[in-house]
Amino acid sequence: MAKKALAIKAAVFDLDGTLFLGRTPIPGAIETLRALRDAGTKTLFLTNAGTRTRKGVAEKLVGLGFAAQEREIYCGSYILAMHIRDKHPGKTVFPVGEPGLSEELEKNGIKVDAHGAGADIVAVCLDRTLTYEKLGKAHVLLRKGALFLATNKDHIFPTEKGTMPGAGAIVAALEFSSERTPYVVGKPNPMAFELMMAEHGLKGSETLMVGDRLDTDIAFARNCGMKSALVLTGNSKRADIGDLKPDYVLDSVAQLTEKLGLEKRK
């Protein structure tokens, strides 16, 4: 007897390691998302990365060949901005991150102090331009009692050439030196799904989360009451699966159309 196709109304996709590696799309990923859209499935994108704005992430996806709109993007910089806007209005932020983080914060009316003098919040994401001076300014602010926020604590992220240190490596340095623990807004924190429910009307029972990490993507799905699919093109491997089990394990996102009973359009 043929397996019954998974019935969902929305799919949320992680990016790095799930849809692409660096600037190289996973084979079949573009066609898979096209098939979902053709079938009327709402398609959204969720990444812990905070180095780009929502608009910047959408532009990268489009540049790689995916259909994507800014309102479909939930990235670390946007989730962090929404958290500060709603929970810490009027606070000034010292960003430890790349320009996309500051741009998204400012776009949402949050004051950014790039010099780190008297900021109320230290906000951390991946920063490939990190200097000891910037790290030191964040350390001083945290020791004086500034709020400690982070987009994520991912220890690595995948690229075409293998893994690289993630935002978690920078967060860990500040945790160790300041003896403070950050509040992390990214996956597996369900905050992003709360935004999706408000902005797109999603329901957990009707939504599938597709990602490459057990500790973030699959844990996020569990925390939000979603179905989950682990793809083996990024960080987590089949041998890593323990008590936290995804509903589906796929060699790559290209196999998703079969699980959903969809036809791919070239």
Distance, CA of 176 to CA of 241 (rounded, Å): 29
d(CA 224, CA 27): 29
Please state, in angstroms and rounded to a whole number, the distance separating the CA atoms of residues 77 and 106. 11
SS3 percent helix, strand, coil of the chain, rounded to 5, is 40, 20, 40
Alpha-carbon dihedral of residues 112, 51, 165, 85, nearest 10 degrees?
50
Torsion (CA) 157, 88, 193, 52 in degrees, nearest 10: -40
Name the packing angle between helices 76-87 and 99-107 (round to 10°): 40
The DSSP call for residue 169 is: H
Of 224, 171, 219, nearest to 195 (Cα)? 224
Q: Which two tokens stand for residue 33?
A: 């998302």
Which residue's entry shows tokens 């608009």?
55
| CA distances (Å), origin 43, targets 15, 224, 235, 254 | 13, 17, 22, 15
Query: Which residues are part of the catalytic machinery?
Result: 14, 16
